[in-house]
Structure 1
Amino acid sequence: MSTSRLDRLRSRSRSAGRRLRRETRALLRIARWEVSRGTNSFDRRTAAVTVVVLLVAGGVFGGLVASGVGSVGVDSGLYRVGVAADSPYHDPVADTSALAARPPAEAEVVDGELRGGVDLLVRDGAVLVADSQKGQAALSTFRDAVARYNDRRLGEEPNRGAAFPVLVTLRYAERDSAPTLASAGGRSVDDGSSGSEASSDSSDAGEPGASGDSGGDGSSGASGSADSDDAESGGTAADSGADGGFEVPGLGSGVLRTESTGSPADISPPFPFGSLVLAFAFLVPMNFVAQAYGGSVLNERVNRRGEPLLVTPVGPGTVVAGKTLPYVLGLTAVSALVALLVGGGPLSVAAVVPIALLYLAATFLAAMFARSFKELTFLTVTVSVFLTSYAFVPAVFADVTPISLISPLTLVVRDLQGTGATLGQYLFSAGPFVGCAAVLFLLGVGVYREEDMFTQRAVPLKALDALDARIRGKRSMLTLAALSIPFVLVAELLVVAVLFVLPLELSLPVLFVAIAAVEELAKSLHVYAGFAKARFARTVPTALVLGALSGTGFFLGEKLFAVVQVVGLPSLTVGRAAFESAGAGIGPAVSPATALALLLAPLALHVVTAATTATGASRGREAFAGAFVLATLLHAGYNLAVATVVSGLV
């Protein structure tokens, strides 16, 4: 290499370094300016209200945690029970929040019917019930309270085998698999369901070995805990006993723990109620920060206040990054504080940060599209409801199915349970959120310019402007189609999670149409934007070329769907139906020629359907809608053929 060429390379390297340092200094300067401006915008009254709201929210959360969540309820003292203080039934009534113990003297019995100020009367071992619906409800609550009290008393017996002679073990299997027999040392019992397996072992309480056989030391199933094993479906095993549960250090115990006595009547599906508390603890601060962030962005568009930033000698990407950095750091710090309070670790913070990024990205794009603060409020509330539901609902089923891994909050629950997560599971949960956030910021930066910031246009037209800003030519169709993959992945995972609970006869047809509609919309929106903005000539050859490029780009990006193999979604019927049509389910037993055909068949499908929608887009909005419906039906028919002929799902 000649000396002159080395000098040019060194000069370019030094120039790139200086440019990077200049951009970094500008980014940090904009971030400091955003912080100072946001701080100065709070007057004393606003700051006081904010502090009060935070203290109330923290007090409510802390009260729920300290009280074990379950003890706080709107039914406290709902039913009045007349029972004497020396009655054996007084303690069960006093221990139940819905029941309020009253002196028997307050009750009035006329002709054998209970009247007066109580709903139940316990006297001389008999129970009188008021002739009303409330009286019947009080009787049901009273029976449950007595049963729970008896179970607790049995749990205190030293001879646990005598107290609980029936050993029940649950193992949650795949919903699609047939029930099998499981043995627990004695006889096997099939519960007849396809979702669980149960085994019981009875021992004679009077035999000397009853305690040892049933686990009299409290370490086995006779101790009153029901072991849940989700090994077959790839989930996380959750033990509801004293050793398998987890607590919130420093804030009280029992919040995330399910109390169990070992009685078969007390067995219920795993429902980590603590994930509800965790979801609100992590997600509520995001809503406040996102609202402030969106207001700051929209405020620059009012009366052209953000025009000085547009004339700065830095690009719009640096400006947006500088404005966003303080909010990202703030949400990260708040998430770390919440994780510390609930006993989480680095995994909890790493799982929540992608949600925060998507919150900010969606809010930024909404602020760039909104024409007023009223419209911004509507858009941000819509975004908040959708993202909160997407992150919150699957986490409830963290102990049941791998579908729950579509939410990063599931990783938080696993972190608190001490089970952790693999790198593949983390990428599966957090990857779509980070990808969607990056694409949303990219689209928002595209309209961070004078001709878009200070104009009043409807939200759909602004969305077309954002897509048009990223079109540089025909090759942009390939890039934009590939960039739509994170949104497609999120939408399809959400469809799978929603349809998972429905019967297969209903869920599969709906799944095929929904998946096809999502993918065809992702492949055609940017093409329609190009024609709507007169970027391309409205001719059939041009439409076919654009459709072929869009279909090819989508096909290349679609190979990212192979990540679903990491968490075992193809083990579910709806998972296989959703992802095998994309070529993600090709197994080792398939011949090379068949594998090549199965790999190229999706490419042909995407090119044909994308060309169909592109041809319609070149002729106008109505023609585009009709072509979209036709392409969706063709795509759904292909999915049905793959599921029938290749996968054998139908």
Structure 2
Amino acid sequence: MRKVLTVAKRELKRFRARFSGGSRAVILGLIAVSLLASYFVAQQGPMMGKGIYTVGVSPDGPLIEDSRFHVVTMDKDAGLKMLGNGSIDLYVDGEAAHARNDERSQYAEGALKKYLEKAETTRLIEQYDINQSFPLRIQASFISAQPTPSVPASTATATTTTAPPPSASTDTGAAVQEQIKEVQSGSSKFKAEFVSENEVIIPSLMKPPVPLSQVILAFIYVVPILFLGIFFNSSFMEEKTNRKLNVLMSTPVTPFDIIAGKMLPYIAFSLGMVAVITLALGGDVAVALAVFLPIILFIFAVYLLVAMAYRTFKDQTFFSMAAIAFVTGYLVLPALFTGINNVCYVSPLTLAVQMYRGEGFGPVEYVLSTGPMYLVFVLSVFLGVRIFNEEYLMSFGPLYRRAADAIYLAIDKSHMFISIALLSAFLIPVVFMAQMIVAILSLMVPISLPPIVFLAMLLALCVIMEEVAKSAGIAALLENKKVASVRAVLALAAASALGFFLGEKLLLYLSLSVVSNVMLLEALGSANLLIIPLAAHFIFTSIVCLLTQKLGAKYYALAIAAGSIVHFLYNFAILSHEMGAI
């Protein structure tokens, strides 16, 4: 630990020397902007869509407290006149909504209708005392809009009416009559909650809104972390190109000491930024640190691999930008589904969103969201230690060549079977992240495809990723002539299949504990695609490895294609059968 701290102290001195004077002011300015943006979002929320519709409301009209609507109180004659000349987008006269035939006015009416429906439902739910309740039938009725000679009308706002149970007397008392009138006019203070099995409810009201403000707030934490990651990456690249790392390697410190020591100051700065932002926003610092620590480690793990794999700043810049895009997509896209779909738990930002919503999360959700990132960090540091030598750091090559060399160096040649099994297991989080990004992006592509075709495309991509993860280590050994016999190849394939199978079952357990109601995961689980038998793993991996041995490492892509086709046909047949397609 002393050596790690020594390297960290040296890195701090280098950081001060590199960023002094004007550059230091720029860095502090960026941090200040991030803090101000965080505070602004926390206090005000996102301003997108504020006041986009102008709505005229009669004095006896409903109360509208949605920032999307700029509300102007006016009488009916003035309202209809302004609606006709386009000065306002919608006019609400009591319970009647008047709209033009153009798209903007129709959109305004639809948005207002949904807002009033939701507001009425919320009002009913909030004031209902379940301990003093009796059965009610809640029904939503829609009052027709009142057309005018010059302004065509459309659908009106929704109101909610209540009725006594069938056994109740039809002679409704005066107090109840007054309550019904108040409900119909939108001013009732009587509330109710849907508790019966025959409840009448609008399905669209059950969809919670996208937590955009909380996602933006959570992502603002990530911005300074990304900046610090870039500083770490550039520092590493500078010392590598100037061969100062060679001097460090000649000192009595290990590769782990160098990597950990160079990372430590930036990780500490990142954690400090998280604590400062959380304190400024009045959040729970301990929860925030627990949520953002794996994100910090994951970002630095990605930047470490980029810095070690490439020698020139040109390549480093390109792949750093690609890494930022991947990290941003993996963190932000799933978090947008918070409260909508449990697939959101693949991103730790979901936990941050829940934190700022005042919602809790359990240990299973935390492990599922953060576990892959912790494992990727461990794998990245391990790879960094194994490839930390002058020959690898100063060599050139395409991405696939650098990856193959790194995998080969990571394997312990004296314990090949254990190394291959562990490599397959530790690559599962990488495969999982890549598959989730592909799945989420595919949902956002505006292309309508039959479900079976859509699943087939996803399965094809997932199968290729899995076969590469299971066979990459064995292919590296074959290329370097460390394995010669068919028996040894099959034994390594069995070890790889076992490691992947055990890791997959653990991930399956965590996933189904949290997201068991996700349709796709239910389909895959019922089709045994997430718990493919160990024998199937062994067969598919053996096909790839034996073809690689037979044809040579330069035909590894062809071997992957062959194994993936067999794997895909097996999975697709099972899935099609389960879905009733064949």
- What is aligned with 2:270? 331
Taking the TM superposition and a 5 Å limit, the aligned residue runs for 1:269-308 are: 269-308=208-247
CA contact (8 A) 1:414 1:421 kept: yes
CA distance 1:212–1:409, shift in 2 (3 Å): farther
Q: 2:468 is aligned with what amino acid? A: L
CA contact (8 A) 1:358 1:434 kept: yes
User: Once the two structures are superposed, what CA deviation does each residue of 1:147-171 show, in whole Å capped at 9, x if it has no partner?
Assistant: 899x69x99xxxxxxx9999689xx
Tell me the distance in 1 between the aligned counterparts of 2:464 and 2:262: 36
Taking the TM superposition and a 5 Å limit, the aligned residue runs for 1:27-426 are: 27-69=4-46, 72-73=47-48, 185-186=136-137, 201-202=161-162, 207-209=174-176, 269-345=208-284, 346-426=286-366
Cα distance, 1:446 vs structure 2? 1.7
Q: Secondary structure at the match of 2:410?
A: coil
CA contact (8 A) 1:496 1:511 kept: yes
- What is aligned with 1:609? 540
Tell me the distance in 2 between the aligned counterparts of 1:530 and 1:137: 64
CA distance 1:497–1:208, shift in 2 (3 Å): same
Tell me the distance in 2 between the aligned counterparts of 1:49 and 1:224: 55
CA distance 1:627–1:207, shift in 2 (3 Å): farther
**Aligned length in residues:** 518
Q: 1:628 is aligned with what amino acid? A: I
- What is aligned with 2:456? 509
User: Once the two structures are superposed, what CA deviation does each residue of 1:507-529 show, in whole Å capped at 9, x if it has no partner?
Assistant: 43234323322211101122222
Tell me the distance in 2 between the aligned counterparts of 1:580 and 1:142: 44
Q: 1:514 is aligned with what amino acid? A: L
- Work out whether 1:441 is the aligned partner of 2:381: yes
Q: Secondary structure at the match of 2:253?
A: coil
Cα distance, 1:360 vs structure 2? 0.2
Tell me the distance in 2 between the aligned counterparts of 1:532 and 1:455: 18
Tell me the distance in 2 between the aligned counterparts of 1:141 and 1:510: 35
CA distance 1:527–1:226, shift in 2 (3 Å): farther
CA distance 1:95–1:167, shift in 2 (3 Å): closer
Tell me the distance in 2 between the aligned counterparts of 1:563 and 1:380: 33
Deviates more, 1:325-334 or 1:24-33: 325-334
Cα distance, 1:466 vs structure 2? 0.9
Q: Secondary structure at the match of 1:306?
A: helix
CA RMSD for the aligned pairs?
4.7
- What is aligned with 2:559? 627
Cα distance, 1:439 vs structure 2? 0.8
- What is aligned with 1:468? 408
Cα distance, 1:491 vs structure 2? 3.0
TM-score (norm 1): 0.68
User: Once the two structures are superposed, what CA deviation does each residue of 1:226-262 show, in whole Å capped at 9, x if it has no partner?
Assistant: 999xxxxxxxxxxxxxxxxxxxxxxxxxxxxxxxxx9
- Work out whether 1:536 is the aligned partner of 2:483: yes
User: Once the two structures are superposed, what CA deviation does each residue of 1:595-649 show, in whole Å capped at 9, x if it has no partner?
Assistant: xxxxxx7211111111111122222355322221121122122223444668989
- Work out whether 1:521 is the aligned partner of 2:468: yes
Tell me the distance in 2 between the aligned counterparts of 1:214 and 1:347: 48
CA distance 1:94–1:608, shift in 2 (3 Å): closer
CA contact (8 A) 1:347 1:411 kept: no
CA distance 1:185–1:320, shift in 2 (3 Å): same
User: Once the two structures are superposed, what CA deviation does each residue of 1:50-99 show, in whole Å capped at 9, x if it has no partner?
Assistant: 22333334334433443342xx35887x8999x9xx9979x999997887
Q: 1:478 is aligned with what amino acid? A: A
User: Once the two structures are superposed, what CA deviation does each residue of 1:534-565 show, in whole Å capped at 9, x if it has no partner?
Assistant: 4333x544433432332233223323223335
Tell me the distance in 1 between the aligned counterparts of 2:504 and 2:30: 45
2:504 pairs with one of 558, 574, 590: 558
Tell me the distance in 1 between the aligned counterparts of 2:497 and 2:309: 28
Tell me the distance in 2 between the aligned counterparts of 1:437 and 1:42: 27
CA contact (8 A) 2:411 2:420 kept: yes
Q: 1:353 is aligned with what amino acid? A: L
- What is aligned with 2:129? none
CA distance 1:146–1:282, shift in 2 (3 Å): closer
Q: 2:358 is aligned with what amino acid? A: G
Deviates more, 1:540-549 or 1:630-639: 540-549
Tell which has more relative contact order, 1 or 2 (C-alpha 8 A, sep 6+): 2
CA contact (8 A) 2:311 2:393 kept: no
Q: 2:176 is aligned with what amino acid? A: G
Q: 1:453 is aligned with what amino acid? A: L
Cα distance, 1:270 vs structure 2? 2.4
Taking the TM superposition and a 5 Å limit, the aligned residue runs for 1:6-21 are: none
Cα distance, 1:342 vs structure 2? 3.5
Tell me the distance in 2 between the aligned counterparts of 1:535 and 1:455: 22
- What is aligned with 1:458? 398
Cα distance, 1:339 vs structure 2? 2.8
CA contact (8 A) 1:481 1:554 kept: yes
User: Once the two structures are superposed, what CA deviation does each residue of 1:328-379 show, in whole Å capped at 9, x if it has no partner?
Assistant: 2221221222233344322332121111111000100001112222221211
Tell me the distance in 1 between the aligned counterparts of 2:208 and 2:581: 28
TM-score (norm 2): 0.75
CA distance 1:551–1:569, shift in 2 (3 Å): same
CA distance 1:308–1:417, shift in 2 (3 Å): same
Unaligned residue ranges in structure 1 (runs of 5+): 1-23, 102-112, 126-132, 156-162, 170-182, 191-197, 229-261, 586-600
CA contact (8 A) 2:39 2:281 kept: no
Deviates more, 1:435-444 or 1:481-490: 481-490
Tell me the distance in 2 between the aligned counterparts of 1:559 and 1:146: 48
- What is aligned with 1:159? none
Tell me the distance in 1 between the aligned counterparts of 2:281 and 2:547: 54
Cα distance, 1:399 vs structure 2? 0.8
CA contact (8 A) 2:49 2:67 kept: no
User: Once the two structures are superposed, what CA deviation does each residue of 1:281-328 show, in whole Å capped at 9, x if it has no partner?
Assistant: 221112101100101111111121211210121221121111111122
